[in-house]
């Protein structure tokens, strides 16, 4: 029988692996839309899936990086990228912006939960933990868009993105303060963050654009 602590560790690992899968798909489809070659697709997939978590580990001074501790992430990104490219080529699938938004929203929720949970477990102050929940999902997408020669969607798409992860982090800490079981706090954070992002897309909520009047 799996103890509660082991169950919590297993769930964190499962969430991070699921987020890696979701962001790999997001990276592959974005690279395909940008007409990159196969090497470019692999590079974008790895940056999208692993970039945010790597920056998080650097900021939290965690060594080795999460994808070194769990090398299956590397194999997973490599295998999924290959399968996705073959599928899109065989089916003549042209990824649209809407097709990218679903795995991107799922990855946002999953990585936000993992980031804030990991930082909290290492004794970081509340605001730092929440910011780690933002950095983990957002930075990979920023790298993806820069490599694809785009203004990062996290900054130019005025529908809430990083804000969803920021609010989701506070949901996690609030549930932790209420001594909610880890699995419930993590699950609630994933559903809240991803759900808020999908709701923002569906309702076309817009953050105000910063303008300086001359």
pLDDT digits (tens, 9 = 90+) for 95-144: 777 888 888 899 999 999 999 999 999 999 999 999 999 999 999 989 99
Query: What separation, in Å, do the N-terminal and C-terminal C-alpha atoms of the chain show?
Result: 67
Q: Is the pLDDT assigned to residue 3 strictly greater than 50?
A: no
Q: Where are the domains of the chain?
A: 4-203
Which of 120-143 are b and which e, b meaning 16 or more Cβ less than 10 Å from the residue's Cβ?
beeebebebbbbbbbbbbbbbbbb
- Cα gap 11→54, rounded to integer Å: 20
Q: How many helices and strands (H and E) does the chain possess?
A: 9, 0
Average pLDDT, integer, range 155-163: 87
Q: What is the pLDDT of residues 59-91, one digit of tens each?
A: 999 999 999 988 999 999 999 999 999 998 887
| DSSP code for 60 | T
Query: Which residues are CB-neighbours of 44 under 8 A, at least 6 positions away?
Result: 27, 28, 30, 31, 36, 144, 147, 148
pLDDT for residue 91 = 77
Q: Is the pLDDT assigned to residue 212 strictly greater than 80?
A: no
Average pLDDT, the chain: 89
C-beta of residue 44 within 8 angstroms of C-beta of residue 147: yes
Query: Which residues are CB-neighbours of 132 under 8 A, at least 6 positions away?
Result: 56, 59, 60, 115, 116, 118, 119, 124, 169
- Cα gap 133→113, rounded to integer Å: 6
What is the percent of the chain where pLDDT is above 90?
65
Which of 43-71 are b and which e, b meaning 16 or more Cβ less than 10 Å from the residue's Cβ?
bbbbbbbbbbbbbbbeebebeebbbeebe
- Cα gap 203→197, rounded to integer Å: 10
* Higher local confidence (pLDDT), 65 or 213: 65
By the 10 Å C-beta count (0-12 exposed, 13-18 middle, 19+ buried), 13 is classed as: middle
């Amino acid at each position: 029988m799996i103890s509660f602590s082991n169950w919590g560790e297993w769930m964190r690992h499962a969430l991070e692996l699921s987020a890696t899968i979701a962001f790999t798909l997001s990276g592959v489809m974005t690279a395909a839309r940008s007409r990159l070659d196969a090497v470019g697709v692999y590079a974008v997939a790895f940056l999208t899936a692993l970039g945010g978590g790597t920056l998080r580990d650097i900021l939290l001074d965690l060594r080795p990086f999460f994808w070194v501790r769990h090398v299956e992430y590397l194999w997973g990104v490599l295998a999924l990228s290959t399968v996705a490219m073959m599928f899109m080529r065989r089916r003549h699938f042209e990824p649209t912006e809407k097709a990218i938004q679903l795995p991107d929203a799922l990855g946002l929720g999953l990585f936000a939960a993992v980031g804030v949970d990991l930082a909290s477990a290492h004794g970081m102050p509340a605001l730092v933990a929440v910011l780690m929940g933002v950095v983990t999902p957002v930075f990979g997408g920023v790298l993806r868009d820069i490599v694809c020669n785009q203004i990062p969607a996290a900054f130019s798409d005025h529908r809430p993105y990083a804000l969803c992860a920021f609010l989701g982090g506070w949901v996690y800490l609030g549930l932790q303060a209420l001594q909610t079981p880890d699995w419930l706090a993590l699950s609630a954070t994933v559903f809240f963050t991803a759900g808020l992002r999908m709701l923002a897309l569906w309702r076309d909520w817009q953050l105000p654009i910063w303008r300086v009047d001359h």
